[in-house]
Chains A and B, each alone.
Chain A
């Protein structure tokens, strides 16, 4: 054991050099497989959650995300939000007036009227669990609104 330890030490030291050298190639080749294998995603509080419905308007599309009530660890919160995107930005009409089915039951749950230039938006709730407009935003290339919701299952 006493004779092997120094050998192992030097092997590990050389291995450390190889690991260091492999960082950049690993970033280039392993990024995507790593994310696919782990299934990691950006928190829905930032990403808005997965898109569950796409409405094609010809020149532009509406993406309705899932309702986000994700709790800190387990379960669902009492309140959450839903995100709706319109893309691409340069193909959007001056005003958008659209009814959105948030819970996927075929019935519209609220209406959004959106001025795509000024980002001014108005919310007309149809369901009691649709609370208020959180805000309208213009990231690069698309527009989005977030609407605060009460958890209909709670």
Chain B
């Protein structure tokens, strides 16, 4: 195939005016929520600057996504920004509210631990059997940053709209994994050196934590295994047990989120460990969006297999025309394929149907999710930075 045909096959960009017009309704919708936040009471000009800058930045990146056809690159920027922004706001919040990033027992009794959607797998069985939520947080929004009701509705909404796309468009932690996986130009540990059976580890972690949380009535993953406590909150080292738990999550963060992604150029935590991602993989089955491979265009070059950050493509995918159920719809394969053989697809529609329509229809819920979570986080972080610049402190 000639270079010009290949370029045409890969490029799925559209005219700028079309992209702006398409994104306008979603951009206006997301801006309404922030305008609501600004109504009533004294408005700090720094908040306005932060909100507008964040909203504009994300909107521009989405327009670029549509005009250049490089979905993965611009999604990655927003995703990484979201992850970096979270601790920039969350840690100052912890210092303001509790005086420390560490959760003492006093704080736990106050329902001070913040929920995140990763608690959902552990909560389900005890909630169904005994009607209790096994986490030292708040049921309804109060003092803590995330209450159970908020995270539950967020999880249900995101799962219904994007399935495991949460892992590449919504998760406020995955960007760390992605950041370190993108730092090196070439991997030191190549794809073929990683045993494909490690792909099943997240499902095993999911099974183990569901069973163990049901018998201990405590959130096992949060207590022992979550590496992202390194960038949010963690228990105070008030006992030998707590010191062991802190050591474990610190090592997991270093290993799974920093070192291994650096060496492999893969999202190791997300692809080979996270139990929430494993749970979302099942929800991919009911989500209307998927990624499909046009087998007539595919030349079996296997570049997509080598590039997939979450190990969701293998030889069987090139035979069936579908990635594995663990696909996070990040668009790396879509952008990478030299033949343009991979595209977003709406289940039930013909495979040859207009892929631009499928892409835009997928980008809408993905964009809205990223705007609500990501742009909101970035705005909050920007506000903290502006406070630091203007007042010398990030704390209120």
Contact = CB atoms under 8 A, between A and B. Distances in A.
A contacting B, Cβ–Cβ less than 8 Å: yes
Interface of A: 5-6, 8-10, 12-17, 19-24, 26-27, 30-32, 34-35, 38-48, 70, 72-73, 135, 137-141, 144
A47 B148 contact: no
Contacts of A137: 105-106, 109
A45 B129 CA distance: 16
B131 interface: yes
A20 B214 contact: no
B349 A43 contact: no
4 smallest CB-CB distances across A and B, nearest first, come from A9-B348, A139-B110, A20-B365, A31-B149
Contacts of B217: 43, 45, 72
Interface stretch (B47-55, B151-159, B248-256): B151-159
Interface string B111-139: 11000000000000011011111111111
Q: At the interface, is chain A mostly helix, strand, loop or mixed?
A: helix
Contacts of B139: 35, 40-42
B129 A73 contact: yes
A20 B161 contact: yes
Contacts of A135: 105
B348 A19 contact: no
Nearest to B33: A24
B86 to A, nearest CB: 18
B236 interface: no
Given A8-B348, A9-B347, A32-B140, A21 B109 contact: no
B361 A17 contact: yes
A32 B133 CA distance: 15
A135 B105 CA distance: 10
Given A20-B364, A23-B369, 7 more contacts: A17-B361, A17-B365, A17-B368, A46-B109, A47-B111, A140-B97, A140-B112
A141 B136 CA distance: 17
A13 B346 contact: yes
Contacts of B133: 40-43
A46 B111 contact: yes
Interface residues of B, number: 63
Nearest to B372: A24
11 contacts: A5-B349, A8-B348, A20-B161, A23-B368, A27-B153, A42-B137, A43-B132, A43-B134, A43-B135, A46-B109, A139-B107
Interface in B77-118: 97, 105-112
Nearest to A26: B153
Nearest to B218: A45
Contacts of A42: 111, 132-133, 135-139, 148
A22 B153 CA distance: 10
B149 A19 contact: no
Interface string B211-255: 000111110000000000000000000000000000000000000
Contacts of A5: 348-349
B272 to A, nearest CB: 28
A98 B368 CA distance: 55
Most buried by B among A10, A16, A19, A72: A16
Nearest to A141: B110
A16 B132 contact: no
A12 B362 CA distance: 11
Contacts of B143: 140
Contacts of A9: 288, 346-349
A11 B161 CA distance: 12
Nearest to B368: A20
Nearest to B138: A42
A31 B157 contact: no
A42 B133 CA distance: 5
A139 B150 CA distance: 23
Contacts of B157: 19-20, 22-23, 26
B141 interface: yes
B209 interface: no
A13 B158 CA distance: 13
A48 B134 CA distance: 12
Contacts of B215: 72
A133 to B, nearest CB: 14
Contacts of A73: 129-130, 214
A10 B368 CA distance: 18
